[in-house]
C-alpha cells in the first residue's frame, strides 16, 4: 500500500508538476498495464509528453486552468473526439466519435490530460469487469481477483496510480462497486446533475456519468468541473456543485447515520466487521447511529434488472450491423446482416440482457414484469426520499470481498447479487458516495446516500470518515 498526497492540495499550492507526474505514470503503465489490462486505448506517449510540457509552461506563466496537466482516464463508453469508443464491445471496435461528451469538453477546457480510454464490462453490463471483449481487468490489490464493474478499468487505473482522476458511469453501482473493490472513491451523482450527452447508453433513466478519485476532496474537485446544467441534455438539471476548497469534515456530533439492517445481514463477516468498526468509531466521537428495517430490499434487484434490461433492449436495437460497420460481412439482406452482427459481435451477457428486456416488454408480459417493476421503483424512491430527508443512509457498498476471477461468471444470479447495496440509489435518483474503510485483508467500502442535490453532505461526512480511517489517497502501488 502507498499513501499519495492530495491532488487538490498540490494544485492549490502550485507544486503539481505535470511532466514529472506523467513520467511516473508512464513507468507504472509500462510495468503493470499488461497484467492489469485497465486500458483499451492509450494515447501515444509523445503526444502525452507534449501536452504535459505545455501544461507545465502554463503553470509557470501563471495561466493554469483548474485541472492543468492533471492525468485523467475516461471510461470507454464516454465519447472523446477521434478516440475509439468501444463500450467494451466488438460491435463498436472501430467506432471513433466525431465529438466530445459534455464532461470531456469540461475536462479539456479545464486543462486535463486524457491518458486513455478504460476497459469495462461490455455496454456497462456487468459487476466484475470480466465481460469485456478486450479481456478482463485485474484488481491491482490482488491480481487474482476482480476489480468490480462495469467501470473496472477506471477504478484499476486509480488503484495502481496510472492517473490522478477518472470518469466512470453508474447504472446500478458501476462506479461504486469497482471503487469499493479497489479502495478508491466514487460518486453516483444526483440524477441529472452531470450531463449524459456523449455517453453510449445502456439504461437512460438509471445511468449517470460520475467522478472517481483516491480521496474525497479530489473527487469533489473533479465533480466541481463536470457537474452542472447542459442545455443539450434534456435530463440535465440546474445544479451548482459545492466548492471543493471550502469543504470541511462534518462535526461528528452533527452526524445522524441510518443503517438498513437487511444490508448488514446480507454482508459476509469481513465486510460486516469492517463496516461496524467504522460505525463504532463514529459513535465514539458523538455520531448518532440508528438501524432501520428496509423490507423493500428484497424487491430492488428484480425491479432494477427488469427496468435496466428493458431499456437496454431498446437502446441496443440500433446495433444492426449497418450503422457501425466494424466487421466484414457476406450478408445479402438486412435480416442476415442483423443476425450475423449480433451473433458475432455481442457477448453472452449482452445477449442475455437484450433477450430478457424483449421478454419483459412483450405483449402478455409487460404488465406482469415491466409495469410492476416501475411501481416498485416508485415505492422505493418514496421510502428512500422519506429517510434521506432526516439522515444519511450508510451501508456496506458490497456484501462481499472482491471475488476471484471467474468465481461469479457461472451463475448470473450470483453475479447480479453483487449489486444488492447499490441499485437503490439509481432507482431513487439520489446521490451515493463510496469510500474505503479497510484494505486488510482486501478492500472494503462504505456507501453513503443523501437527499437529491445533497452531495455536499456526502463530501463532508466522507472527509470525516477519511480522518477516522486514514485511507485518503491510498493506492496499491
Each residue's pLDDT tens digit, 438-454: 999 999 999 999 999 99
Active site residue 174: yes
pLDDT band, residue 340 (cuts 50/70/90): confident
- Out of 3.90.1300.10, 3.40.1180.10, 3.30.750.24, 3.40.640.10, the CATH code matching 2-252+451-475 is 3.90.1300.10
pLDDT at 330: 78
Closest listed residue to residue 148, CA positions, set 116, 187, 174: 174
pLDDT band, residue 168 (cuts 50/70/90): very high
Torsion angle, alpha carbons of 421, 426, 430, 436, to 10:
40
The domain limits of the chain are 2-252+451-475
Asked if residues 96 and 324 have their Cβ atoms less than 8 Å apart, the reply is no
Each residue's pLDDT tens digit, 121-131: 999 999 999 99
Give rounded-to-5 percent helix, strand, coil for the chain.
45, 15, 40
Active site residue 75: yes
pLDDT at 460: 98
Asked if residues 227 and 453 have their Cβ atoms less than 8 Å apart, the reply is no
Q: β-strands 185-188, 432-438: how paired? A: antiparallel
- Exactly one of 89, 174, 195, 267 is catalytic; name it: 174
Tell me phi and psi for residue 18, to 5 degrees. Answer: -60, -35
Through-space distance between the first and last CA atoms of the chain, rounded to whole angstroms: 6
Each residue's pLDDT tens digit, 300-319: 999 999 999 999 999 999 99
Q: Model pTM? A: 0.97
Each residue's pLDDT tens digit, 413-423: 889 999 999 99
Copy the grid coordinates of residue 129.
469487469
- 87-108 average pLDDT score: 97
Asked if residues 168 and 175 have their Cβ atoms less than 8 Å apart, the reply is yes
Active site residue 195: no
pLDDT at 212: 98
Q: How far apart are CA 358 and CA 231, in angstroms?
A: 32
Nearby residues of 130 by Cβ (< 8 Å), 6 or more positions away: 121, 136, 137, 146, 149, 405, 406, 409
pLDDT at 8: 84
pLDDT at 339: 87
Each residue's pLDDT tens digit, 35-44: 999 999 999 9
- Exactly one of 6, 75, 132, 475 is catalytic; name it: 75
Between vectors from CA 429 to CA 428 and to CA 434, what angle results, nearest 5°?
Answer: 95
pLDDT at 125: 98
Nearby residues of 435 by Cβ (< 8 Å), 6 or more positions away: 179, 185, 216, 445, 446, 448, 462, 465, 466, 471
- Percentage of residues of the chain with pLDDT beyond 70: 100
- 96-114 average pLDDT score: 98
Closest listed residue to residue 471, CA positions, set 152, 215, 296, 137: 215
Q: How many angstroms separate the Cα of 38 from the Cα of each of 51, 94, 116, 133, 398?
A: 22, 19, 10, 13, 21
Q: How far apart are CA 293 and CA 310, in angstroms?
A: 30
- Exactly one of 150, 151, 267, 398 is catalytic; name it: 150
Amino acid at each position: 500500500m502507498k499513501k499519495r498526497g492530495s491532488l487538490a492540495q498540490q494544485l492549490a499550492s502550485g507544486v503539481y508538476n505535470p511532466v514529472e507526474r506523467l513520467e511516473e505514470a508512464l513507468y507504472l503503465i509500462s510495468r503493470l498495464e499488461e497484467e492489469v489490462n485497465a486500458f483499451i486505448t492509450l494515447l501515444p506517449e509523445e503526444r502525452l509528453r507534449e501536452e504535459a510540457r505545455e501544461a507545465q509552461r502554463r503553470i509557470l506563466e501563471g495561466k493554469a486552468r483548474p485541472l492543468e496537466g492533471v492525468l485523467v482516464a475516461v471510461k470507454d463508453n464516454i465519447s472523446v473526439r477521434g478516440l475509439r469508443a468501444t463500450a467494451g464491445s466488438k460491435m463498436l471496435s472501430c467506432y471513433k466519435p466525431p465529438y466530445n461528451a459534455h464532461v470531456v469538453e469540461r475536462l479539456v477546457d479545464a486543462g486535463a490530460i486524457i491518458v486513455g480510454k478504460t476497459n469495462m464490462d461490455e455496454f456497462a453490463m456487468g459487476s466484475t469487469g470480466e465481460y469485456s471483449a478486450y479481456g478482463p481487468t485485474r484488481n491491482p490489490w490482488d491480481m487474482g481477483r476482480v476489480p468490480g464493474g462495469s467501470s473496472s478499468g477506471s477504478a484499476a487505473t486509480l488503484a495502481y496510480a496510472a492517473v490522478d482522476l477518472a470518469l466512470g458511469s453508474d447504472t446500478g453501482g458501476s462506479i461504486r462497486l469497482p471503487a469499493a473493490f479497489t479502495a478508491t472513491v466514487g460518486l453516483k451523482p444526483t440524477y441529472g446533475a452531470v450531463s449524459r450527452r456523449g455517453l453510449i447508453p445502456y439504461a437512460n433513466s438509471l445511468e449517470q456519468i460520475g467522478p472517481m478519485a483516491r480521496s474525497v476532496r479530489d473527487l469533489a474537485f473533479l465533480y466541481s468541473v463536470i457537474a452542472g446544467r447542459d442545455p443539450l441534455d434534456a435530463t440535465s438539471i440546474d445544479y451548482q456543485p459545492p466548492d471543493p476548497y471550502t469543504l470541511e469534515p462534518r462535526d461528528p456530533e452533527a452526524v445522524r447515520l441510518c443503517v438498513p439492517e437487511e444490508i448488514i445481514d446480507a454482508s459476509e463477516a469481513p465486510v460486516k466487521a469492517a463496516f461496524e468498526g467504522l460505525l463504532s468509531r463514529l459513535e465514539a466521537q458523538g455520531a448518532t447511529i440508528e438501524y432501520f428495517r428496509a423490507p423493500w430490499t428484497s424487491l430492488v434487484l428484480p425491479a432494477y434488472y427488469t427496468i435496466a434490461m428493458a431499456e437496454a433492449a431498446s437502446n441496443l436495437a440500433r446495433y444492426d450491423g449497418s450503422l457501425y460497420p466494424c466487421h466484414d460481412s457476406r450478408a445479402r439482406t438486412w435480416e442476415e446482416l442483423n443476425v450475423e452482427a449480433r451473433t458475432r459481435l455481442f457477448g453472452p451477457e449482452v445477449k442475455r440482457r437484450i433477450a430478457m428486456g424483449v421478454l419483459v416488454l412483450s405483449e402478455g408480459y409487460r404488465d406482469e414484469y415491466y409495469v410492476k417493476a416501475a411501481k416498485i421503483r416508485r415505492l422505493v424512491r418514496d421510502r428512500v426520499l422519506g429517510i434521506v430527508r432526516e439522515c444519511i443512509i450508510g451501508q456496506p457498498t458490497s456484501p462481499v470481498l472482491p471475488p476471484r476471477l471467474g468465481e461469479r461468471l457461472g451463475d448470473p444470479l450470483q453475479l447480479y447479487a453483487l449489486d444488492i447495496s447499490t441499485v437503490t440509489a439509481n432507482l431513487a435518483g439520489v446521490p451515493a458516495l463510496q469510500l474505503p474503510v479497510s484494505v486488510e485483508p482486501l478492500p472494503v467500502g462504505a456507501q453513503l446516500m443523501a437527499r437529491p442535490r445533497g452531495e455536499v453532505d456526502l463530501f463532508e461526512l466522507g472527509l470525516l470518515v477519511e480522518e477516522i480511517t486514514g485511507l485518503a489517497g491510498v493506492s496499491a502501488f
